Amino acid sequence: MKQPSTAASPPGPTQLEIARQASAEHANGKLLIHFALKNGGDKPLYVFDRPWMLQDAKVAVADPNRAYRFYQNGVLRILLGQAPMPQDRMVAVHYDPHATRLAPHQTVIWNLDFEIPVAEYNVYFDDLTVAKYERQIANSIEITVQYVSEDPGLTVSPSPVIPGAFKVRAAHGVPKVDSVHLHIRDHQTEVLRRTDQFERAQPE
pLDDT for the residue 203? 65
SS3 of residue 107 by DSSP: strand
The per-residue b/e assignment along 88-123, b for 16 or more CB within 10 angstroms, e otherwise, is eeeeeeebbbbbbbbeeeeebebebebebbbbbbbb
pTM recorded for the entire structure? 0.88
Using alpha carbons, list the distances in angstroms from residue 43 to 39, 40, 103: 8, 9, 7
Q: Is the bond leading into 117 cis (omega within 30 degrees of zero)?
A: yes
Q: Under DSSP, is residue 175 helix (H, G, I), strand (E, B) or coil? A: coil
For residue range 146-190, list pLDDT tens digits in order.
999 999 999 999 999 999 999 999 987 778 899 999 999 999 999
Q: 157: Cβ–Cβ under 8 A, 6 or more apart, which residues?
A: 166, 167
**First vs last C-alpha separation in the chain:** 32
pLDDT for 32-60, tens place per residue? 999 999 999 999 999 999 999 998 878 99
Q: Which pLDDT does position 56 carry in this prediction?
A: 80
The residues pairing with 20 across neighbouring beta strands, listed in sequence order, are 36
* Residue 58, burial from CB neighbour count under 10 angstroms (0-12, 13-18, 19+): exposed
> What are the two backbone dihedrals, phi and then psi, of residue 174, each rounded to the nearest 5 degrees?
-90, 125
Provide the mean pLDDT of the chain: 89
Closest by alpha carbon to 75, among 197, 150, 161, 184? 184
pLDDT bin (cut points 50, 70, 90) of residue 198 is: confident
pLDDT at residue 171 in the model:
82
